[in-house]
Amino acid sequence: MNEQPTRETTLRLEAVNLTKRYEDGVLALDHINFAVQSGELFVMLGGNGAGKTTAINLFLNFLEPTEGEARINGIASHREPLKAKQHVAFVSENVMLYGNFTAIQNLDFFARIGGKTDFRRNDYRDVLLRVGLPEDVHDKRLKSFSKGMRQKCGIAIAILKDASAILLDEPTAGLDPKAGHEFVRLLDSLRSEGKAVFMSTHDIFRAREIADTFAILDRGRIIMQEPASNLAGKDLETLYIQYMAGHNNSSVAAAGGIHA
Amino acid sequence: MLRTVIDKEVRDIVTSTKFAVAFGVCALLIIAAFYIGATHFKVSQEQYEASKAVNLRQMEGVTDWMQIQQHRIFLPPKPLAALVSGVSNDIGRTVEIVGHREITARDSKFNEEPIFAVFRLLDLEFIFQVVLSLFAILLGYDAISGEKEKGTLRLSLANALPRSTYILGKFIGSFAALSVALLVAIAIGCLLLPTLSISLTGEEWGRLGLIILVGLLYFGVFLGASVFVSSLTHRSSNSFLLLLVMWIMTVMVIPRASVLLAGRAVDVPSVDEIDAEKATLASQLWEEFRADLSGFKPSSNSQADIEKTMDEFNKYMDSLTTLRNEKIAAVTDRLNESRRNAQVSQQRLAFDLARLSPATSLTLATGTLAGTSLDLKGHFLEEALAYREGYYDFMEEKTGVNMRGGGMFMRMSHGEEEPDPINPRELPDFRYQPATLAASVESAVVDMGILALFNLLFFAGAVMAFLKYDAR
Amino acid sequence: MLSTLVQKELRAMLLSPKFVATFAVCSILMLLSVFTGVQEYGAAVRQYETSTQLSEQQMRQETTWARMTTTVLRQPDPMQIFVGGLTYDIGRWSGISTRNSIKLSGSTYSDDPIFAVFRHIDFAFIVQFILTLFAILFTYDAVNGERESGTLKLVFANAIPRARYLLAKCIGSWLGLVIPICIPIILCMLLVGVMGVSLSAVHWGRLVTFLGISLLLFTFFIVLGVFISSLTRRSSVSFLAALVVWIGFVLIIPRTAVMAADQIVRVPRVAEIEGQRDGYAKDRWATFMEESQERWGSRCSLEELDESERDTELWNRMQEEDSLRRIVEKEIESYETRLQEDLRRRKAAQQHLAFILARFSPASAYQLAAMFLAGTDISLKARYVDAMTAYRTQFNDYVEKKQAETGSTGGVMITMSSESGISITTGRDDVGIDVSEVPRFSPPEYTYVAAVAPIIPDFGILALATMVAFMGAFIAFLRYDVR
């Protein structure tokens, strides 16, 4: 089913009028639209409860959209969830793997359920080294790992799946600067391999380092979406903080460029 | 400061789902136990009265006290036995009085109505022993380790709060909250008794109060153990597992295993062997007796002295019977004595071993207080024996014959006018006197002490462990 | 894919720290229970053998057929090692005589009440109380625990069908718990062999069926844990719920069912029945005595006969009386049979209701099935009473025949007459009696079919309950919010 068109022109992740209203009436997402192409790193900024995680949950079909679609490789994930999920890898905010398993055992399990059954121990070692986990911890149980180490395992699992799109939910939250920097480098290398990367965060500084496109989500609506190049000289921090402080619409509009 | 900690602890417990569910289940069960116990007692009471009436009815119309062939007495049901059944369903409840044989109790409830033995009964003691202890663990297993996991422990200890105050507050708070909740349920249960028209005497209320006190002490042991274990471990899942294993061991394994062990260690001759020995002896003596009887020589053979001859014969037979009975009694006593001694030492060993588990102390203390402990059988038989003496005296008075000899006399008389039937109600009534309250308390005090000691031990252990607890 | 998921479950199970602790406890308990069970059984067999020999010896010591009585005993069954059931509650022996009907008395618990204080611990008890508790301890957080740790999200970010995941969860947990539990079970079987308990083919059949149904109960609680965990979001909640359900199933329902049935169907107490019987017997004997006195009065006077004739005549008359007495005894017996029949019917109704109510809990269905398979069930008493009653008839007929042949009546006759004064006769000369041909009691046959037939409903209930729990888990999980 998978047609592999050229990398530059392919839309990997697409939100089309994506809307989610919870049973209790809260409108978590209100007709949002965005697209992530292969080789693009899309950063969704937003405070707690803005709807970032809801968007990711909709892509993974953990939720049913109220309206609109979340598409992975053109497949609407609520229609054909299993097909759609073959093309996406996911790294959660706080990667908690099986605590009693070693790093290798965790990797093996997730690689297999990701459809990759022919990996050897060497492959796991290589990928763990690549994400920056030294060899002496490969056979240690996950429950002894620090948060940064666990996040690295999470990204290793995503790499192993070799999906064309990667969803990251606040991946750098709680990481120290060094770990955060290493993490960003990893994302950069994945992008250069042609993956479409969608990352939600409120860590504006990390985002600024690598993002191709920024979007700011507030109360379920995208109030700003710009390519990084457009914002090159602008003070993203001020913009974001103003918005965070609640002076959103007018001040952001003044800063220029609302793409609803 | 302590008050604040206690306050917080009580509020924390009372508002938790765990508490609501546990308390709901316990309250339901306790009330059910009281209700079932009460109705069960009423049924037993009816049956008891019926059996007694039937026993007297079958004597009606008899014209001579000598002709009474069967007279039974029954162990009366007691309301407390319905709440703490102990061994009351396992031992015989009926004693045959007529005859000279050794007194035995037969017709245990479980033998007669095995349906109740299939799943056993739901009584207050069972709920205390099994359910409440489990809930105590459930409510206390994360007392320390849980707060550590949540991070509240660090926050609390970041203040100028002495650790000892903290743990003391925890103990007092949780014990107060839970025991008050339990007492409410128990009080409802107690109120149910008069509503179901079951009246307890003042003494019985006292006993019930003590039983409840023992139950709370036992509950305290498990609560204390939970806090202790939780201040030894750093993960609440570990402390739960540890406590669960401990619970299984104390409630289910140690008591049973100790009894079995003691059963192996001390050899008690089986009832069958003793019975067979007795029977053989009795049969030999009967043959001798028969032979000896022919040796009777009347002092005169004249018709006029027939009355005198009969008297002589009676005396002769009496003396022979007494001799025979003395021989039997000597052997029987010896056999019974040796069996009883072995049983007592077996019992002592079993209980000493089993007292490692507080569940044993609970069972023994509540059983003793409710009058359904292991002593019930012996006590009942003693009472029955005393009654039989009274019965013999009564019969001797009525008939002039000493029934202790066991001889059966049939007087065949012709042509006389029909004598008036006897009134069976003249028979002395069997009044079962349970052990006095003082005696019960005296024998229960050891186990109550053990439970209190366990409480102290776990409390001290918890304080010690907590003072050194790594709060990070 | 399924095998990957199953493998992971298995590994998660085996690597968890609680695994070692629980299986150590289970294994020790199982082995302990079987060890003590074998010892108890051995003691019971020894007691049975000595007692049988003693009753034999007593029969041989008897000098007249007239007073011939015996004692028959309930034979211990090796299955009681695994399922004690009612073995210790029901009387072990009954006397066999013309006068008294069959009554099992001398239960182990009433003879040695010390064992009744805490009861015995057996294999079925361990399965019912401890294995089930461990089953829910391992599965109560099967689904929501993974949600809490976030792995559920990671897993379902992949192309995994939910149904397959849940199936793998159940299979994995099942394998992870059942395979290890088989080790102590096998050790137990070996222990039974080593300790020299010989089991017949029927016993093995029953034992294997029993083990099968034990595993079925274990399976039910495993699936139940998964079900509860897929109904709830938080593992602390599901743990509480599972524990409450466990207490209800294992501790409460069975006990309350019997109580409820007792309230609904009333059964007269044994003493009432016996009282009725005694009342009837008393009436019957009173009539008999009256008639007897009339007969003595109407017979010709003994004084007309000479000495030797008189003696013969006297014995003949006594024999005549004796045979009439026997008729009365038979009448009383049949009256009692009717009473017992009625009692039994009512008891059966009560029992039926109690079991229906109790079977709302799969744990009590299991317990009933285990008892039936072991032959220590509630009908154990009836089986023996029936067999012993049949034997009693046989025995009494034989003794009566013998007595008629030898003509000895035993007893002591004392006559006083105005002429010869008092004279005491101790019966005719006692002839040594040969008891080798006295019919012997053989314990009732308990065939495999008889053991298995009553447990079919229990088997069905357990299978059904497992299916329901599985379907429930399935449906709940398909709609489970994995976030």
d(CA B228, CA B243) in angstroms, rounded, equals 10
Q: How confident is residue A245, by pLDDT bands cut at 50, 70 and 90? A: low
Domain annotation covers residue C299: no
DSSP H/E element including A82: helix A81-85
Q: Which residues of chain B have pLDDT under 70?
A: 99-101, 298-306, 401-419
E strands present in chain A:
11-21, 27-37, 41-45, 67-72, 75-76, 88-91, 165-169, 196-201, 213-218, 221-227
Q: With an 8 Å Cβ cutoff, are A161 and C158 in contact?
A: yes
Query: For residues C27-36, b (16+ Cβ closer than 10 Å) or e, as one string?
Result: bebbbbbbbb
* Full residue range of the structural domain in which residue A46 is found: 10-87+165-177+196-260
Taking residue B196's Cβ as centre, other Cβ atoms within 10 Å add up to: 14
Q: Tens digits of per-residue pLDDT, B33-46?
A: 898 888 888 888 88
Number of structural domains (chain A) is 1
Which residues of chain C lie closer than 8 angstroms to B276, CB-CB? 50-51, 54-55, 57-58
Residue A56 is assigned to a structural domain of this protein:
yes
Q: DSSP per residue over B73-111, as a string?
A: EEPPP-HHHHHS-TTTTTSEEEEE-SSSSPP-EEEEHHH
Q: Which two tokens stand for residue C234?
A: 């938080």
Residue C379 has pLDDT above 60, yes or no: yes
Q: Tell me which residue range forms the domain holding C246.
A: 1-268+361-406+437-483
pLDDT, tens only, A182-204? 888 888 888 998 899 999 988 78
C71 or C306: whose pLDDT is higher?
A: C71
Average pLDDT over residues C95-117: 84
C17 is a domain residue = yes
Interchain contact B287–C (C-beta under 8 A):
yes
- The answer to whether B334 touches B291, Cβ cutoff 8 Å, is no
Residue with more model confidence, A256 or C115: C115
The residues, ordered by sequence, that sit 6+ positions from C128 with a Cβ below 8 Å of its Cβ are: C217, C250, C363, C366, C367, C370
**Chain-chain contact of A57 with C8 (C-beta, under 8 angstroms):** no
User: Are A169 and A53 within 8 A, CB to CB?
Assistant: yes
Q: Is residue A99 part of a domain?
A: no
Residue A97 included in any domain:
no
Give the span between the Cα atoms of A78 and A75, in whole angstroms: 9
* CA of C240 vs chain A CAs: smallest distance (Å): 23
Instruction: Answer yes or no: is pLDDT of A247 > 60.
Output: no
Asked whether residue C249 is domain-assigned, the answer is yes
Residue window 379-438, chain C: list those with CB within 8 Å of chain B: 380-381, 412, 414, 416, 418-422, 424-426
A83 is a domain residue: yes
B288–chain C Cβ distance below 8 A for any pair: no
C449/chain B closest Cα distance in angstroms: 22
- In a domain? residue C82: yes
Q: In the prediction, which pLDDT does C416 show?
A: 60
- Torsion of the alpha carbons at B86, B453, B13 and B9, rounded to the nearest 10: 160
- The 10s digit of each residue's pLDDT in C148-164 is 888 888 888 888 889 99
Closest CA relative to residue C362, chosen from C219, C186, C178: C219
Q: Is A146 exposed, middle or buried (0-12, 13-18, 19+ CB in 10 A)?
A: exposed
**What is the interface pTM, i.e. ipTM, of the complex?**
0.82
Q: Are A15 and A55 in contact (CB under 8 A)?
A: yes
Task: Specify whether the CB–CB gap between A221 and A44 falls below 8 A.
Answer: no
Give C200-220 pLDDT, tens digit per residue: 999 999 999 999 999 999 999
- Residue C368 pLDDT grade (very low, low, confident, very high; cuts 50, 70, 90): very high
Q: How far apart are CA A14 and CA A84, in angstroms?
A: 12
Of the partner residues C50, C104, C113, the one whose CB lies closest to the CB of residue B273? C50
Q: Summarize the confidence of residues C15-39 as an average pLDDT.
A: 88
Interface test with B, best of C28, C88, C89 (most B CBs within 10 A): C89
**pLDDT of A254 above 50:** no
CA distances (Å), origin C46, targets B217, B272, C75, C76, C88: 43, 11, 11, 10, 15
- State percent of chain C over pLDDT 70: 93
Residue of C nearest to B291 (CA): C426
Q: Could you identify the residue written with the tokens 């067979």?
A: B276
β-strand pairing of A88-91 with A165-169: parallel
Residue B370: the pLDDT is 92
Per CB distance under 8 Å, which residues of C are interface residues toward A?
1, 4-5, 7-8, 11-12, 15-17, 149-151, 153-161, 481-483
The band of C226, judged by pLDDT with boundaries at 50, 70 and 90, is very high
Q: Which sign, positive or negative, has the C-alpha torsion C193, C195, C200, C203?
A: negative
Chains touching chain B at 3 or more Cβ pairs under 8 angstroms?
C
Amino acid A198: pLDDT? 93
CB–CB contact C247 B25 (8 Å): yes
Task: Say whether residue C35 is in contact with chain B using an 8 A CB cutoff.
Answer: no
Closest Cβ opposite residue B290 in set C251, C420, C426: C426
Of the candidates B205, B269, B258, B270, the one whose C-alpha atom is nearest the C-alpha of residue B364 is: B258
> Would you say how long chain A is, in residues?
260
Q: Which residues of C touch B416 (CB under 8 A)?
A: none
Residues 6+ apart with CB under 8 A from A192: A39
- B367 and C117 within 8 Å at the Cβ level: the answer is yes
Nearest Cα residue to C371 out of C48, C117, C82, C33: C82
Is B125:B214 a contact under the CB 8 Å cutoff?
no
Secondary element (H or E) of residue C457: helix C456-478
Q: What is the pLDDT of residues C298-355, one digit of tens each?
A: 776 666 677 777 777 777 877 888 888 888 888 888 888 888 888 888 888 888 898 8
| SS3 (DSSP) at A223 | strand
Total domains in chain C come to 1
Residues of B in contact with C61 (CB under 8 A): 280, 283-284
The two counts, helices (H) then strands (E), for chain C are 18, 4
Domain harbouring A63, CATH code: 3.40.50.300
Question: How many CB atoms are located within 10 Å of the residue B69 CB?
Answer: 15
The nearest CA of chain A is from the CA of C161 a distance in Å of 7
Has residue A172 been placed in a domain?
yes
Beta strands at A196-201 and A165-169: parallel, antiparallel or unpaired: parallel
In this prediction the pTM is 0.84
Domain assignment of residue A233, yes or no: yes
Chain segment A12-42, per-residue pLDDT in tens: 899 999 999 988 888 889 899 999 998 899 9
Of A62, A85, A110, the CB nearest to C159: A85
Q: Alpha-carbon distance B174 to A131, whole Å?
A: 49
CB-CB under 8 Å, C154 with A92: yes
CB-CB under 8 Å, C112 with B241: no
| A144 in a structural domain | no
| A·C CB contacts under 8 A | 75
More confident of the two residues C226 and C113:
C226
Q: Which of B21, B26, B54 should be substituted to probe chain C, the one whose Cβ sees the most C Cβ atoms within 10 Å?
A: B54
Note which residues in 70-89 of chain B have CB less than 8 A from chain C.
70, 72, 74, 86-87
Q: Measure Cα distances from B400 to B66, B134, B313, C309, C375 in Å.
A: 10, 63, 15, 37, 53
Nearest to C483 among A62, A89, A100 (CB): A62
Give the span between the Cα atoms of B106 and B461, in whole angstroms. 48
Name which of A59, A113, A166, A167 to mutate to probe chain C: the one with the most chain C Cβ atoms within 10 A of its Cβ. Answer: A113
Q: Which residue of C has its CA nearest to A141?
A: C15
Pair C409, C326: CB distance under 8 Å:
no
A227 three-state secondary structure: strand
Q: Which residues share a beta bridge with A36?
A: A13
Check CB contact under 8 Å for C159 and A86. yes
CB contacts of C155 in chain A (<8 Å) are 110, 113
Interchain pair A92, C1: CB under 8 A: no
Which of C7, C157, C161 lies at the smallest CB-CB distance from A89?
C157
